[in-house]
Amino acid sequence: MKKQSLAMIVIALLCILVLSFGNSFKSESEPVHTEIATTNEYIVVGFSQLGAESDWRSANTESMKSTFTVENGYKLILEDGQQKQANQITAIRTFIQQEVDYIVLAPVTETGWDTVLQEAKDAGIPVIIVDRMVDVSDEDLFTCWVGSDFELEGKKAAEWLNRYAKAKGIASEELHIVNIQGTIGSSAQIGRTKGLAETARTYGWDLMAEVAGDFTQAKGKEVMESLLRRYDNINVVYCENDNAACGAIEAIEAAGKRVGSDIDKGEIMVISFDGVKKEAMNYVLEDKISFIAECNPLHGPRVKAIIELLKDGQIPEKFSYVDEQIFSANKTVKEIIVDGMAYTVTLPEIVEE
């Protein structure tokens, strides 16, 4: 009897041993288990990009893609909102269902985010806003924001124009300006429009029209064509990004007019933003675009640094602004001062692709 029960215990122990070995072999060889194990090793980032309207946007998407790679320990889920807020809201809801670790949002316009951001907050997922801002009732609805000071960019462009006109002896009321705006309601549009409008008011410039150009080349061209039909005295075109500027230049040249800084000799001056599109940078070197206020799209590493802080349990700055330069090939103005800060005019650096 004693011998029998001892044998049974030994057999039982052997069974347990074999089973547990079997299991550990299984978890190494079965693909399902391996996948679950490896997914947990990555930080999953859901990025709702607003669209693909410009060269700036493409560079921004690329920066995120090349930063949040598997080699860097990330799994990036990228959703293109195609310029529609509704698509971006759907993307965020999907990220919540997928239980991503972080949500990154580049919002198309500022308002209308409260509900979906509350949903992300309730799910305990940090939301990092990038590029444009959100205008929400409670800033605790997002973790932090990183991007550019768009109003400052606008003020830089307007102040450069002021200095240029003064140096050339062009009277304020002789500046007949049209503004080809970006996507209406986006931070980049709101800030750049404000920067120009306020400076125009201060100096008494003739700001004749503000028309939406959607940050695209096609719309920039179309809007410029109609502005040229409406006004025969335009001498400054303020374009809220490089793509719209390139479109406007097409329209101006097609109408048989010349672009350039010599507005006292009948040229139409083009002012722009970004400094990303190669064609626009070359136009600066040719003085077809007189001035560009830089807007830096390379936010990938900045967002990664924020995620690393959060991972370590640290609190990132709520708002981080990127330092930016000003570009012109015209030698009339060498430096401008805006909000007490000096900015030196430089030539854009053209990086070969």
In this complex, which beta carbon is closest to ligand GYE, that of residue 81 or of residue 100? 81
In this complex, which beta carbon is closest to ligand GYE, that of residue 175 or of residue 280? 280
In this complex, which beta carbon is closest to ligand GYE, that of residue 61 or of residue 148? 148
Q: Which of 48, 49, 54, 181 binds ligand GYE (CB under 6 A)?
A: 54
Contact (Cβ atoms closer than 8 angstroms) between residue 264 and residue 234? no
241 near ligand GYE, rule: CB under 6 A: yes
324-353: contacts with ligand GYE (CB under 6 A): none
63 near ligand GYE, rule: CB under 6 A: no
CB of 266 to ligand GYE, least distance (A): 29
Q: Is 327 helix (H, G, I), strand (E, B) or coil?
A: strand
In this complex, which beta carbon is closest to ligand GYE, that of residue 146 or of residue 200? 146
Taking residue 84's Cβ as centre, other Cβ atoms within 10 Å add up to 13
In this complex, which beta carbon is closest to ligand GYE, that of residue 74 or of residue 150? 150
CB of 296 to ligand GYE, least distance (A): 9
Q: Which of 95, 113, 160, 273 binds ligand GYE (CB under 6 A)?
A: 273
Stretch that binds ligand GYE, among 48-56, 110-118, 196-204, 330-338 (CB under 6 A): 48-56
56 near ligand GYE, rule: CB under 6 A: yes
Find, among 269, 232, 229, the residue nearest to 249 by Cα: 269
CB of 132 to ligand GYE, least distance (A): 5
In this complex, which beta carbon is closest to ligand GYE, that of residue 100 or of residue 188? 188
Q: How many residues touch ligand GYE (CB under 6 A)?
A: 14
> Distance between CA 85 and CA 116 in Å, rounded?
11
Q: Which residue has the tokens 């305990």?
A: 124
47 near ligand GYE, rule: CB under 6 A: no
In this complex, which beta carbon is closest to ligand GYE, that of residue 268 or of residue 280? 280
> Distance between CA 122 and CA 120 in Å, rounded?
5
Find, among 51, 95, 40, the residue nearest to 73 by Cα: 40
CB of 38 to ligand GYE, least distance (A): 35
In this complex, which beta carbon is closest to ligand GYE, that of residue 215 or of residue 291? 215
Torsion 264-262-340-342 (CA) sign: negative
Q: Is 291 helix (H, G, I), strand (E, B) or coil?
A: strand
> Distance between CA 320 and CA 48 in Å, rounded?
19
Q: How far is CA 231 from the centre of its chain?
A: 33
Q: Which residue has the tokens 């959060």?
A: 310
Token pair for 281: 């940078």
Stretch that binds ligand GYE, among 4-12, 54-62, 224-232, 254-262 (CB under 6 A): 54-62
Q: Is 140 helix (H, G, I), strand (E, B) or coil?
A: helix
Helix residue spans in the chain (DSSP H)? 2-29, 31-39, 55-67, 85-97, 114-122, 150-168, 187-203, 217-230, 242-254, 278-285, 300-311
Q: Which residue has the tokens 């006292």?
A: 264
In this complex, which beta carbon is closest to ligand GYE, that of residue 52 or of residue 305? 52
> Distance between CA 110 and CA 105 in Å, rounded?
11
Stretch that binds ligand GYE, among 50-58, 165-173, 315-323, 329-337 (CB under 6 A): 50-58
Stretch that binds ligand GYE, among 52-60, 111-119, 302-310, 319-327 (CB under 6 A): 52-60
**How far is CA 233 from each of CA 176, 177, 198, 267, rounded to the nearest angstrom?**
7, 9, 22, 11
Q: Which of 142, 145, 215, 327 binds ligand GYE (CB under 6 A)?
A: 215
Find, among 155, 154, 183, 156, the residue nearest to 57 by Cα: 183
238 near ligand GYE, rule: CB under 6 A: no
Q: Which residues bind ligand GYE (CB under 6 A)?
A: 53-54, 56-57, 131-132, 148, 186, 188, 215, 241, 273-274, 295
